């Protein structure tokens, strides 16, 4: 939000940020976009709302409501979310915009019989701007004249919208963001490309690096780049790329050619096409399910190479809004291609391009190195190449958990214990009979080309009370041979609460850089605010009791200590 909005929204280099989607959009049943959400008041407050509260506190200019309902009330018609909470308790003064047509979608939701009724519900609930629904422009005037909508509600919505426009400086110059000279000087400028490259490098997560296959050694003289996404210059732009120029990104193949040392031979084979038919945001994806004509060439190059860089995953239009899947494995014939290449050459680095967690169960067992690159934008290939050739030491951490298989979803790190967490020799406890229940790659996980050693947690006190705080310190040492960055993560576990509490919750983190052999002490402050949550009393408060503090490089490998809040 601060990056978008800066300190002064009237600066032409700012943009009004939008917190979306308010609220519960990511909790749809079956993981299916736009679907029903059924959650309780405690999960809503403790899990979903805190990021939105943080956004409001940071001064985000706008909120966008969501398509889904929560417990029978569509978010666009929720007075509780928009008026009582956002504009009331949180004292937020921006404006709420509907999601695309979400006001008229109150009709198929079954809570409004027509556009007029939908407009009445939405404006009373606190939706200030109707995006693409046409309900406000066709009905609000008539609703006010009929006395069904108070004029003060319209005044409030108008005031909120105008306030943001004033802050943007649009009343001084309505065309200030339509500066062609500025566009020509800034778009694809050298400075911005450097920022894109830096952002790309920092977003990459190294998932596996068996036998230190990465960074690529000087002894490697023949690299085969294989895969349906290896020379893809469009997917790195992502699904929601607006008016980005198609096929303008640096592909992984191009990046490898840009960074490979002189004398290294680079060969390329697509192996197989991932998708068939038209690629666009509005078209459903169709996949190549049987064409393996490119396998022979891929296998040949793999056998001849010292190292294979295998680029697989998802097409950009396979992921994103409206692209919900029941299977999060490799689409098309990619599974067969991966196996074919692995049999031809065991020295494989898999580069993933994807927008969601994937089922990597086979790859994790059989591929020695896996690099999660996501969709990195215009400098995608160069960012990947800097990792592969050791120009940059990967430092990214997973913001999601990767499952053992698709059937484990929804999978998240902050799970609760349940009444039967462990069973020993018995089967009647919370587990799967055909799979481990732990994530394949957990939240917060990410490897480096160096190693980090964590000391024990030191607490400034073993208890604190109202108005006091504890300092938690931990020593981290770079025990490897390369400069590296590490994100030190602090988690808390409320051992006994008035409602059931997660086994761990990320509460703080700090990224540090360490030279080989260097040690740093990282300090975190634990105070009342950090342990406050929405309790059985339906209010935010800190309850007295025992807590466990955990610090480490991911959500699994953690040092532990205990303290008490009195």
Segment holding 513, helix H or strand E: strand 505-514
Phi and psi angles of residue 522, each rounded to the nearest 5 degrees, phi first: -105, 130
For the residues of 364-401, what is the DSSP string, one character each?
Answer: HHH-SEEEE-----TTHHHHHHHHHTTSS------SSP
Q: Would you name the residues annotated as active-site residues?
A: 99
CA distance 502 to 531: 12
Q: Which residue reads 């927008």 in tokens?
A: 355
User: What are the distances in angstroms from CA 443 to CA 23, 48, 357, 447?
Assistant: 22, 17, 11, 12
Asked if 126 and 149 touch (Cβ cutoff 8 Å), the reply is no
> 518: burial class by Cβ within 10 Å (0-12, 13-18, 19+)?
middle
CA distance 178 to 182: 8
CA distance 79 to 444: 36
Phi and psi angles of residue 293, each rounded to the nearest 5 degrees, phi first: -65, -25
Pull the structure tokens for residue 84. 């009582």
User: What are the distances in angstroms from CA 544 to CA 427, 495, 537?
Assistant: 35, 11, 14
CA distance 95 to 456: 47
Pull the structure tokens for residue 491. 């988690």
Phi and psi angles of residue 543, each rounded to the nearest 5 degrees, phi first: -100, 140
CA distance 529 to 538: 16
For the residues of 56-74, what is the DSSP string, one character each?
Answer: HHTT-SEEEE-SSEETTEE
């Amino acid at each position: 939000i601060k990056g978008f909005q800066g300190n002064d929204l009237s600066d032409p280099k700012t943009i009004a940020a939008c917190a979306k989607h308010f609220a519960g959009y990511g909790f749809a049943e079956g993981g299916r976009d736009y679907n029903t959400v059924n959650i309780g008041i405690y999960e809503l407050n403790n899990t979903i709302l805190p990021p939105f509260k943080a956004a409001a506190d940071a001064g985000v200019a706008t909120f966008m409501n969501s398509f889904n309902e929560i417990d029978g009330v569509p978010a666009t018609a929720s007075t509780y979310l928009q008026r009582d909470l956002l504009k009331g308790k949180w004292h937020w003064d921006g404006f709420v915009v509907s999601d695309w047509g979400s006001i008229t979608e109150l009709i198929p939701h079954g809570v409004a019989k027509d556009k007029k009724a939908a407009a009445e519900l939405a404006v009373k609930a606190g939706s200030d701007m109707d995006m693409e629904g046409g309900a406000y422009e066709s009905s609000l005037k008539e609703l006010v004249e009929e006395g069904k909508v108070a004029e003060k509600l319209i005044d409030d919505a108008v005031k909120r919208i105008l306030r943001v426009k004033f802050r943007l400086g649009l009343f001084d110059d309505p065309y200030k963001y339509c500066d062609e000279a500025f566009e020509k000087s800034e778009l694809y400028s050298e400075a911005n490309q450097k920022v894109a490259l830096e952002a790309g490098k920092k977003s990459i997560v190294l998932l596996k690096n068996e036998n230190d296959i990465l960074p690529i050694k000087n002894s490697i003289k023949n690299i085969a780049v294989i895969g349906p996404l290896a020379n893809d210059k469009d997917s790195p732009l992502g699904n929601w790329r607006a008016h980005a120029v198609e096929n303008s990104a640096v592909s992984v193949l191009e990046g490898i050619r840009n960074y490979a040392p002189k004398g290294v031979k680079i060969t390329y084979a697509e192996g197989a096409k991932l998708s068939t038919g038209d690629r666009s945001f509005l078209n459903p994806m169709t996949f190549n399910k049987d064409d393996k004509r490119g396998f022979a060439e891929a296998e040949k190059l793999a056998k001849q190479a010292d190292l294979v860089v295998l680029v697989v995953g998802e097409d950009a239009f396979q992921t994103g809004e409206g692209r919900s899947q029941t299977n999060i494995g490799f689409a098309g014939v990619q599974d067969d291609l991966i196996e074919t290449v692995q049999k031809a050459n065991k020295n494989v680095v898999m580069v993933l391009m994807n927008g969601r967690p994937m089922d990597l169960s086979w790859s994790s067992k059989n591929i020695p190195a896996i690099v999660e690159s996501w969709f990195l934008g215009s400098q995608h290939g160069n960012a990947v190449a800097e990792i592969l050739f050791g120009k940059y030491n990967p430092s990214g951490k997973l913001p999601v958990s990767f499952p053992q298989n698709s059937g484990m979803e929804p999978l998240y790190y902050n799970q609760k214990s349940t009444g039967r967490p462990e069973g020993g020799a018995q089967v009647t406890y919370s587990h799967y009979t055909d799979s481990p229940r732990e994530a394949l790659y957990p939240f917060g996980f990410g490897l480096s080309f160096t190693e980090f050693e964590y000391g024990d947690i030191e607490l400034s006190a073993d208890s604190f009370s109202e108005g006091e705080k504890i300092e938690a310190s931990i020593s981290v040492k770079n025990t490897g041979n390369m400069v590296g960055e590490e994100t030190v993560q602090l988690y808390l576990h409320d051992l006994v609460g008035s409602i059931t509490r997660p086994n761990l919750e990320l509460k703080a983190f700090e990224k540090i850089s360490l030279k080989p052999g260097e040690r740093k002490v990282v300090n975190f402050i634990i105070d009342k605010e950090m342990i406050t949550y929405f309790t059985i009393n339906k209010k935010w408060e800190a309850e007295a009791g025992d807590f466990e503090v955990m610090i480490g490089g991911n959500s699994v490998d953690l040092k532990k200590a205990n303290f008490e809040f009195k």
